[in-house]
Structures are given as structure tokens and as C-alpha cells.
Amino acid sequence: MNLLDAQNLSRSDTIGSLEPFAYLLARAQLADERKAELARDFPNYPSAGFFPHEQADCGPSINQLIEELSSPAIADAIGLRLGVENLSGFPTLVTICRSLNRRHGTIHTDSRSKVVTALLYLNEDWPDTSDGCLRFLKRADSIEDLVTGEIKPLYGNLVAFRRSENSYHGHLPYEGERRVIQIAWLTSDEEKLRKARRGRLSRLFKKWFGAIDRHIGAARKDDASHLD
């Protein structure tokens, strides 16, 4: 039984726009009865941040979900909403995050090597706070100048956007568990290899120096940015 259905991305309750950059929000993309299974199979990383998907880290339902999320049907359904033809023809890189520290989520556009980014959240609930909730933004210097309402990282919420020079996004500082699978469609196989290598090095660094990483981000400002 499939976990994702490309037709759900065309439902009337899907929120999207092409201005000031192309984005969409599709809620309830995962069945409630699969929650426990996906929670059980989610990788248990010891460090905060996004790490390249490795099948050995994950249980079967998460690997199935990633296979479906990377499928041509899902890619082209997302591309259709964002104005990108044949999105399935671009190389994909999947990264997974279990937890964040306060350093993460600064305002950025994503790197120029990304064509489209999608985020699928798997948190069964979320605190009554804006911290850690994704925001699409009108400018690079204000976390409060929103394009649309902030997006809680709740189970089944899928967000995607087309990378551009003004695809500003980020979230208020948050430390703790925040489960999300990210898929990026990239400009080339060379960029996929480069990013995967960097991700593996980052995972090794954080394994040994995670306390330093947390310390560096502890004083992060709300409007902090890291622009390409």
C-alpha cells in the first residue's frame, strides 16, 4: 500500500502561489494509521541537523516513503504546481533531520544548485509556539515579513518551493526534536555528489563535536541569515 498519492497534491485545499516565488503547502499527505509505523522506523541520529539518507539508518516504512517521495509521479506533480517542467528529470538528494539546535533555520534562499526543494514533516504534535515553524519571507532581513502564514512541521504537511534569488525562508530558533524528510532536485549529478560528500563529513563532525555546534548556535538572532 502506497504512503503517498500524487493526486493529493492537486486537491482544492492545497495552498500555493507563483509570487513572490513559487511555493505550495499540501496538508494531510500521510494516513494517520501509518503514524506509529513511520515513527518506529525514523532514523535515530545522535546529532542535530540534516544528513544524507542511508537505507541502513531507517526502517522499511521510511525507506518506502523516501522511494515514493523521489518517484517521477510525485516529482512531476510538484513541478506542475511550481511551474517546472519535467522535474523528475533532475537528480535528487534526500536528507533527513530528527532534531535541530538553535543555529539552524536562519533566513536563506537555498543554494543555486537546487531547482526545487520539498519538505515532508513527521511530527505527531508541536508545542504552542512559533519556534521552528517554517516561514516563507518577503525579504532577507526580517523573519516577521511573511509571504503567507507560518507552517507548523506537523505530520503529513508537505511544503515545496522553487529556488530563486528571492526564495527567502527560515524559522525562529528552535532546539529539540523536529522530524522532517527533505528532497532536493538538483541541477547536476556533480552537485548531488558534492552535497552528499559534504553531508557525510558534517555528520562525522557533529558526532564528535556536537557540543561545540550547539554552543555556536546558542546566541543566534531571530533575523540571522546565510545567503548564497
β-bridge partners, 219: none
Kindly state whether residue 1 falls inside one of the protein's structural domains: no
- Residue range 1-30: average pLDDT? 91
Rounded to whole angstroms, the Cα distance separating 183 from 70 reads: 7
Domain count, the chain: 1
Closest of 141, 95, 133, 97 to residue 114, by C-alpha: 95
> Is residue 224 situated within a structural domain?
no
- Alpha-carbon dihedral 124, 69, 195, 98, rounded to 10 degrees: 10
Where is average pLDDT lowest: 91-105, 175-189, 196-210, 214-228?
196-210
* Model confidence pLDDT, tens digit, residues 131-162: 999 999 999 999 999 999 999 999 999 999 99
Asked if 52 and 95 touch (Cβ cutoff 8 Å), the reply is yes
Q: Can you give the pLDDT at residue 19?
A: 94
Domain coverage including residue 30: 6-217
What is d(CA 109, CA 88) in angstroms, rounded to the nearest whole number?
A: 22
- Give me the mean pLDDT over the 116-144 stretch: 97
Q: What is the DSSP-derived secondary structure letter of residue 70? A: T
118 located within any domain: yes
* CA–CA separation, 49 and 36 (whole Å): 23
47 falls in which pLDDT band (50, 70, 90)? confident
Residue 224 has pLDDT above 90, yes or no: no
The reply to whether 222 falls in a domain is: no
Domain-embedded: residue 225: no
CATH of the domain at 196: 2.60.120.620
